[in-house]
Amino acid sequence: MNVDAPTGAAGIVAAGVTGTGVTGATAAGTGVVGSDAALRQILHGLPGVDQVGAHERAASLATRSIKRDAKLWALDMAVRMVDLTTLEGADTPGKVRGLCTKARQPDPDDPSVPPVAAVCVYPDLVSLARGELAGSGVAVASVATAFPSGRASLAVKLADVADALNAGADEVDMVIDRGAFLAGRYAQVYEEVRAVREACGPTHLKVILETAELATLDNTLRAAWLAMLAGADFIKTSTGKVTPAATPPVALVMLSAVRDFAEATGRRVGVKVAGGIRTAKDAIRYLVLVREIAGPQWLTPEAFRIGASSLLNDLLMQRRKQLTGAYAGPDYFTLD
Amino acid sequence: MPDRPAAARAGKAAKTAKPGKTPASGKTRARGDRPADRAAVRANARGDGPGGGSSARVDVRKTYKLFIGGAFPRSESGRSYPAAGPDGAVLAHVALASRKDVRDAVVAARKAVAGWAGATAYNRGQVLYRVAELLQGRAAQFAAESVANEGVSRAEAERQVAEAIDRWVWYAGWPDKIAQVAGAANPVAGPYFNFSVPEPTGVVALIAPAAPGLLGLVSVLAPVIATGNTAVVVASESAPLPAVTLAEVLATSDVPPGVVNILTGRAAELAPVLAAHMDVNAIDLTGAAAADRAELARLAAGNVKRVFTADDDWAAPPGPARMLAFLEIKTVWHPIGV
Amino acid sequence: MASVSTTTAGAEWEYAPAPESREIVTIRPEYGLFTGGEFAAPLSGKHFTTLNPASEEPLASVAEAGEADVDRAVASARKAYDQAWGRMPGRERAKYLYRIARAIQERAREFAVLESLDNGKPIKESRDVDIPLAAAHFFYHAGWADKLGYAGFGPDPRPLGVAGQVIPWNFPLLMAAWKLAPALATGNTCVLKPAETTPLTALLLAEVIQEAELPPGTVNIITGDGSAGAGLVGHPGVNKIAFTGSTEVGKEIQAAVAGTGKKLTLELGGKAANVVFDDAPLDQAVEGIVNGIFFNQGHVCCAGSRLLLAEPIADAVLDRLKQRLATLRLGDPLDKNTDIGAINSRQQLDKIEGLVAAGEAEGAQRWSPPCPLPAKGYWFPPTVFSGVSQSHRIAREEIFGPVLSVLTFRTPEEAVAKANNTPYGLSAGVWTEKGSRILWMAQRLRAGVVWANTYNRFDPASPFGGYQESGFGREGGRAGLAAYLDA
């Protein structure tokens, strides 16, 4: 057991399950990480999270005053971190085309605005999005595994992943089985993530925890470690279909977890906050959390993303205000 | 007294007799003959200056509606009744609440419980103090309404309004203290930390006293909400005007919607509905007629409501009884050990 | 931190300066003493200068009360007590105090900026902690003024008369509120002597009191140095003395008051132990450690200045703590992003430097994060000493600065023994997820305030005060009323 890191999980890491993805041992083979009981010992051995303390720290960091060039930098970075998202039953090719146009060039009046990180759609629209985004540098992320509920057999979930991959998705956003997690079937959750990890191969995998359904910050921390141990490239707060979605205290816990995981294993896992982030002010508050909780190494789209739709225009409006000095209006930004 | 659908109300003042309703019953007066105070009520209600009776300017008259969930709806029954001065002259038509309005008010009060009971005591104290600030600002209006509606002298009305404001301020200072007075750490014989905290019971129905209009209402309402409960109030049937003006104060003073709901109408009609309502936690029968109280208390037993009745001397300083009546004591044990 | 394998490095993001404007506050070039409801020149004819400790810039010339001034203030308080405040019904006193509470809220930003200028603490703290708590103290105590019969001191407890109150420089407005609010609520009149280096927010409070139209002489505010405080303490016209400050001066006051019949309460120094068990919520414990000793630059009597770590987690906690300290921002108190402000005076800085040198000489290991200090003003970087023993001076003496001494323990009993092994007894912290252990520790810790899984939390409803040489008497809550009642 590694006494320098206060977490049992790090001990497991030292024992050979590196969580690096493709080459990691399968769950059934290790024996250590094979059972609900063993995983329970690891996850419940993590330090507790004091809810009041976590909320206070998040609230304190929300008082950071980000002005002038620091604000402009943050707004640009936030744009670059956006996963522009449409995940509606009513999505059509027309809707996705518009989204992709916006993603490539968020502000037609200002070509200095960088493109977003990715577009996020359902698997059956991935192929279309790929075509629209070819050559732009904007990635195509697809949800999968019976998003958003996660209520389907593993076979169905893996078929969903396969569809996304075959259509050419650059990134896969999977959901964990929250029912299994809340019932204590940690091994099942772990195995499902590992199975998707293996199916993805080198494709970037985000694991959605759906923290609102997990209810407690302790559960958020445990689910985060479970996902990271199973090989997630990113851990993600929410599907955006359940309220509340991302919140600062939840992000704080996840950012602490990736920081500690990196310290224990040397591997940087990213964080994506998704759902309910509508204003530039909110986005900048999340960037402050990234910087002060996880560290500057996470201030890059490779390690932090914001899943959003209407946020983008507010980022553009605030950016315009910073550059021109006048408050902007929504009519000057496109609704794609 | 005949019910009067709102649509049938005449635009101009009409002579209306209210037999048996007020002390000097049967007499009516033409509009121009009324003393300055009754005109002042109308003037205040319109936001005009005093003495509008004989001016050339046409007044804008206030409508007196129910206060439910932070909004001012008319009764779903469409009914209203005339509020009158002691001589029977009509001051205004106020909404006459029905059992369905009671139902809606209880729903609103229940919805507001979590937020209000969950607010910090400091926050509740601040909100109540803000109410007092606005009561003070409207002191003249309340006094004029009292003179017109209840027939008290101007001096007495002003004294009662000042007392009502001071009493509200007294209650505003209780939320962050009641736990220190009514709670305790209990020295049990064992390695346990044991503490008792008072918690609000939930939705409280209040039958406000017939008189005095504002002071009686404040005296029964403030202790209920200071302790974190929400309220459904049946206002004094004969003196409804201050109740509606109080509702306006509450609506503009940070009190969350639904914490206080005020129904104007007949206690005889509405009290039994509240007493039997299965989602009301407690009932204050102070304003119910003495002859009705036993039956109301019997109905209240249907869901084991906490029942409170007292005939206070409203001029005298209150004690803690009206707060303690609507608090539940919760006692918690926890072992002490490494 | 382990080197992180990444494909793309992160980015440095510097926060731009975010200064709160000074323009909201008008500082007069010269202030008189506030007695009998008016500002007037001191009979002593003397003034002194108050500085901004972040820049050493002079802020204002403030009156220095001499013997005759103290006399005049006490006479004024006595007259107000006899003729007005002492006879006023509680419900009317209450409404005056509510006015003060509301006015502080209305002028909150003005008070916060002035406090940061005069004291050196970050605007983030004066704005978010000091000023709101000061308003809350007046608000809470206003509500007791007409409810004293319910406070547990009998049906009609009476006030003492004239209260002489001497307060320190670490929370100037808040300490004024802690003294004035309960004294006034219970029916006493007051003569308040603010600290020499931080008079300005008390003088602004005097304006608020004037505008609230309290009867003249109900509150008198006399600025001055230690001799003015001593004059007030020794004045025969004062019925009650309340002092917050160093244990050394507290003992002098206790000796001076002995046998005079004056009632006395003291809130003195501390050397609190902050105890972290191996099952503590780690990240929040680190925050609690930081809040405990670096909040207000460590100028806190109840600061968690001795960190007692369970030995198995000591290294891990220290690592996290050091990483966390590297994100603390030291600098201009008026910058909204500043976490650590200036040390209040040259004198205090000298004391801190002296004790830190002693710590190094005694063999403890000193560490600070990289922390450039501004050229002008009084500054000290957040500092952690590890390998500290109970007998080191830095474990026994109150430093009153941003300096943490770290010790270890093995068992809960040992933690209690070490925590209690001090003549002080003001406060203590406990970090553990186990409820029964919190209560067990709380029962055994000899401290007037025990914080479990939190630190440095204050509320007007929560009594505050110490055991032993940390003083006697409580401020806040029902217990705090006792200090000002003849009961």
Q: Does the beta carbon of B188 lie under 8 angstroms from any beta carbon of chain C?
A: no
* pLDDT value at residue B44: 54
Going by their DSSP bridges, the two strands C427-431 and C403-409 should be labelled as unpaired
CA distance, residue C90 to nearest chain B CA (Å): 10
CA angle centred on A258, ends A253 and A259, rounded to 5°: 95
Domain map (residue ranges) of chain A: 27-323
Contact C283 A256 (CB under 8 A): yes
- Is the pLDDT at B208 greater than 50, yes or no? yes
Looking at residue B40, its pLDDT comes to: 59
Give how far the C-alpha of residue A255 lies from the chain's centroid of Cα atoms, to the nearest Å: 11
Tokens 């921002």 correspond to C329
Interface test with C, best of B120, B168, B180, B192 (most C CBs within 10 A): B180
| Residue B231, SS3 per DSSP | strand
Write down the H helix ranges in chain A.
Answer: 8-14, 27-30, 36-44, 51-61, 68-81, 93-104, 126-133, 154-166, 178-182, 186-200, 211-214, 217-229, 248-265, 280-289, 311-324
Lowest-confidence range among A31-40, B116-125, B135-144, C327-336? A31-40
Residues of A in contact with C315 (CB under 8 A): 3-4
pLDDT digits (tens, 9 = 90+) for C427-480: 999 999 999 999 999 999 999 999 999 999 999 999 999 999 999 999 999 999
Best to test chain A binding among C13, C21, C274, C287 (most A CBs inside 10 Å): C13
Pairing of strands C47-52, C57-63: antiparallel
Q: Which of B167, B194, B338 to mutate to test the interface with C (most CBs of C within 10 A)?
A: B338
Does B320 have pLDDT greater than 50? yes
Instruction: Give the integer Cα–Cα distance in Å for C242 and C251.
Output: 13
C288: which chain A residues are within 8 Å (Cβ-Cβ)?
Answer: 53
Q: What would the pLDDT profile of B76-95 be if each residue is shown by its tens digit?
A: 999 999 999 999 999 999 99
Whether there are 3 or more C-beta pairs closer than 8 Å between C and A is yes
pLDDT tens per residue across span A219-230 = 999 999 999 999
DSSP letter string, B88-109? --EEEEEE---HHHHHHHHHHH
Q: How confident is the model at residue A336 (pLDDT cuts 50, 70, 90)?
A: confident
Residue B190's SS3 state is: coil
Residue C487 binned pLDDT confidence (cut-offs 50, 70, 90): confident
Interval A270-295 mean pLDDT? 97
Q: Is C38 a catalytic residue?
A: no
- Whole-angstrom Cα distance, residue C355 to residue C363? 13
**What pLDDT is recorded for position B35?**
54
ipTM: 0.93
Q: Quickly state the pLDDT bin for C9 (edges 50, 70, 90).
A: confident
**Range with lowest mean pLDDT among B85-89, B114-118, C355-359:** B85-89
Shortest alpha-carbon distance between residue C275 and chain B (Å):
14
Domain positions in chain C are 30-268+469-484, 273-459
The verdict on a CB contact (< 8 Å) between C16 and A66 is yes
Count A/C contacts: CB-CB distance under 8 Å.
111
Indicate if the pLDDT at residue C232 is higher than 90: yes
Give me the mean pLDDT over the B143-153 stretch: 95
Q: Is the pLDDT of residue B55 over 70?
A: no
Angle at C384 between CA C379 and CA C390, to 5 degrees: 120
Long-range contacts of C439-443 (CB under 8 A, 24+ apart): C439/B193, C439/B334, C439/B335, C439/B336, C439/B337, C440/B336, C440/B337, C440/B338, C440/C412, C441/C275, C441/C412, C441/C415, C441/C416, C443/B336
Nearest beta carbon to residue B193 from set C147, C439, C478:
C439
Interacting residues of A324 by C-beta distance below 8 A, sequence separation 6+: none
Phi then psi for residue B280, to 5 deg, are -110, 130
Interface contact flag, B169 C437, Cβ < 8 Å: no
Tell me the C-alpha to C-alpha distance, in Å, between residue B299 and each of B70, B287, B293, B304: 28, 16, 10, 9
| Residue C388 pLDDT greater than 50, yes or no | yes
- Residue C25: other Cβ atoms inside 10 A: 20
List the catalytic residue out of A157, A272, A282, A314.
A272
Alpha-carbon distance of A101 to A236, in angstroms, equals 25
Domain A27-323 has CATH 3.90.25.10: no
Q: What is the pLDDT of residue B61?
A: 86
Using the predicted structure, report yes or no on whether residue B22 has a pLDDT greater than 70.
no
Q: Residue C290: count other Cβ atoms within 10 Å of its Cβ.
A: 21
Residue A14 is predicted with a pLDDT of: 40
Binary contact (C144, B177; C-beta < 8 A) = yes
**Band of the pLDDT at C7, cuts 50, 70, 90?**
low
C-alpha–C-alpha distance, residues C356 and A263, integer Å: 32
**Secondary structure element (H or E) that encloses residue C326, with its range:** none
B129 contacts C150? CB cut-off 8 A: no
Q: Which of B6-20, B217-231, C202-216 has the lowest mean pLDDT?
A: B6-20
Residues of chain C numbered 396-435 and touching chain B (CB < 8 Å):
412, 435
- Give the mutation candidate from B128, B136, B227, B336 for the C interface (greatest C CB count, under 10 A): B336
Q: What is the pLDDT of residue B37?
A: 58
Q: Is the pLDDT of residue C403 over 80?
A: yes
In the DSSP assignment, the letter for residue C460 is: T
Q: Does A302 touch chain C (CB under 8 A)?
A: yes
Residue A316 has pLDDT above 60, yes or no: yes
Please tell me the distance from the alpha carbon of residue C236 to that of residue C246, in angstroms, as a whole number: 23
Chain C residues with beta carbon closer than 8 angstroms to that of A267: 4-5
Neighbour count for residue B286 (Cβ, 10 Å): 20
Report the distance separating Cα A265 and Cα A19, nearest Å. 9
Give phi and psi for A15, each to the nearest 5: -80, -5
Average pLDDT over residues C76-86: 98
Total-model pTM? 0.92
d(CA B234, CA B238): 11
The pLDDT value recorded for residue B62 is: 87
- Judged by a CB distance cut-off of 8 A, whether residue C478 touches chain B is yes
Evaluate whether B63 touches B42 at the Cβ level (below 8 Å): no
* B336 vs C contacts (CB less than 8 Å): 436, 439-440, 443
| Residue A335 pLDDT exceeds 70 | yes
Name the average pLDDT for chain C.
96
Residues of C contacting chain A (CB within 8 angstroms)? 1-18, 124, 128, 279-284, 287-288, 312-313, 315-316, 319, 327, 336-337, 433, 453-454
Task: Indicate the pLDDT class of residue B8, thresholds 50, 70 and 90.
Answer: very low
To the nearest whole angstrom, how far is the Cα of C14 from the nearest Cα of chain B? Answer: 37
Does the domain at C30-268+469-484 match CATH 3.40.605.10? Answer given as: yes
**Alpha-carbon distances, residue B245 vs A143, C200, C222, C398, C426 (angstroms):** 56, 44, 47, 59, 51
- Partner chains of B (3+ C-beta pairs under 8 Å): C
Q: Domain extents for chain B?
A: 100-335
> Model confidence over C37-75: pLDDT tens digits?
999 999 999 999 999 999 999 999 999 999 999 999 999
Q: Measured in whole angstroms, how far is the alpha carbon of residue A158 from the centre of its chain?
A: 20
Does residue B39 surpass a pLDDT of 90? no
Q: Quote the Cα angle for A153-A222-A292, to 5°.
A: 125
C301, C398, C469, C475: which is the annotated catalytic residue?
C301
Does CATH number 3.40.309.10 belong to domain C273-459? yes
Coil, strand or helix at C162: strand
Write down the pLDDT at residue B305: 98
Pull the structure tokens for residue C268.
Answer: 């003195």
pLDDT band at C414 (very low <50, low <70, confident <90, very high): very high
- CA–CA separation, C119 and C204 (whole Å): 14
**What integer pLDDT is reported at residue C1 of this predicted model?**
37
In order, the DSSP letters of C128-154 are IIIHHHHHHHHHHHHTTTT-GGGTTS-
Prior bond to B212 cis, omega within 30? Answer: yes
* Interface contact A71-C9, CB threshold 8 A: no
CA distance linking residue B49 with residue B43, whole number of Å: 6
C471 contact partners, CB below 8 Å, separation of at least 6: C247, C250, C265, C266, C267, C268, C426, C465
Q: Would you give the DSSP letter of residue C377?
A: S
> What are the tens digits of pLDDT across the range A7-51?
445 555 444 343 333 233 333 334 445 799 999 999 999 999 999
Counting residues of chain C whose pLDDT is more than 70, the rounded percentage is: 98
The whole-angstrom separation of Cα C424 and Cα C470 is 5
**Chain position carrying tokens 């450690």:** C289
Lowest mean pLDDT among B15-19, C161-165, C192-196: B15-19
Contacts of C122 in chain A (CB under 8 A): none
B100-335 sits in which CATH class? Answer: alpha beta
The whole-angstrom distance between residue A110's C-alpha and the CA centroid of its chain comes to: 28
Specify the pLDDT at position A34: 75
The Cα B122–Cα B179 span in angstroms is 12
Residue in this structure with the two tokens 């990234």, named with its chain if needed:
A290
Beta strands in chain B (DSSP E): 4-5, 79-84, 90-95, 184-185, 192-200, 203-207, 230-234, 260-263, 282-284, 306-308, 327-335
